[in-house]
Amino acid sequence: MAGVLTITTMIAGFLLGYVYRSTAEARDKASSDKLVGAISQVVSGFDNDPVSSKTTVTAGSSQITIYPATHDGRLIGCAAESSSDNGFSGKITIVAGFDPDGNILGYEVTSHAETPGLGAKMNDWFRGTGSRSVIGRNPSSRPLKVSKDGGEVDGITAATISSRAFLEALNIASEGAMTYFRQSTENK
C-alpha cells in the first residue's frame, strides 16, 4: 500500500523534474521576451539594449528597476518597472515609460490577479480616450489620483481599488524614473 503510493509520487517527481529542466530555458526566454516586448511598447526609438544596462534606484520605500533608453548615446527616456501590493487581489506589476521630462509615454501591465472583466481591464482602460488616459500626463509634478479621490484620471467603472493600485504603481514608477534622470544628469 505504502509502496504503491511511494512509487506513484516518485514517478510523478521524476516526470515533473524532467519537464521542469527541459522547459526551463523556454520559460526564461518567454518571460524575458515579455519584458523586452513591454519595454519596447512603452518607450520607442531607442537603439541600445535597455535590459543589459538596467539599474535600480530607490523611490520612497521601494526599489525600482530602471531600463534606460538611449539613442546615439543620448538619453531619450526610460522604462521603470514597479508594483503595488494594494490591488483587489494582490500584487500588480507594471512597466511604464517616461521621457526625460517625466511625461508618461506608455505603460504595460506585466502581471496582476485582478477580476477578469473588471480590474483586469486596466491594461486597456488607461490608454482610452479623454480623462481615462494616463498617456502624456506627468505624475512627477502632481501624483495621479482617480477622480473619486479628487484626482483627474477616470478609474475603471466598479474597480476603483484596482484603479487606485494601478495609479499607485505608476506614481512610484514616475518617482523612480525622476530619481534616475536626476542621478544621470548629476553624473555628467
Report if residue 36 touches another protein, rule: CB under 8 A. no
Tell the burial category of 130 from Cβ atoms under 10 Å away from its Cβ (0-12, 13-18, 19+). exposed
Report if residue 118 touches another protein, rule: CB under 8 A. yes
Give the binding range for another protein (CB under 8 A) out of 56-64, 98-106, 110-118, 139-147: 110-118
- Cα–Cα dist 141/152, whole Å: 13
- Cα–Cα dist 22/149, whole Å: 49
CB of 21: closest distance to another protein in angstroms? 10
CA distances from 99 to 32, 90, 92 (A): 23, 29, 23
Phi, psi dihedrals of residue 156, rounded to the nearest 5°:
-65, 135
Report if residue 129 touches another protein, rule: CB under 8 A. no
Q: Figure out which of the listed residues 73, 117, 130, 150 binds another protein, where binding follows CB under 8 A.
A: 117
Report if residue 32 touches another protein, rule: CB under 8 A. no
**H or E element: which one contains 15?**
helix 2-42
Q: Count CB-CB contacts under 10 A for residue 45.
A: 11
Report if residue 16 touches another protein, rule: CB under 8 A. yes
**87 three-class SS:** strand
Cβ closest to another protein, residue 157 vs residue 183: 157
Cβ closest to another protein, residue 98 vs residue 125: 125
With CB under 8 A as the rule, give the number of residues binding another protein.
Answer: 26
| Cell numbers linked to 160 | 476603483
Site for another protein in 147-166 (CB under 8 A): 157-158
Give the binding range for another protein (CB under 8 A) out of 1-9, 74-82, 94-102, 180-188: 1-9
Q: Figure out which of the listed residues 56, 113, 131, 141 binds another protein, where binding follows CB under 8 A.
A: 113
- Cα–Cα dist 63/82, whole Å: 8
User: Which residues of this protein are in contact with another protein, per CB under 8 A?
Assistant: 1-2, 4-5, 8-9, 12, 15-16, 19-20, 23, 26-27, 30-31, 33-34, 111, 113, 115-118, 157-158
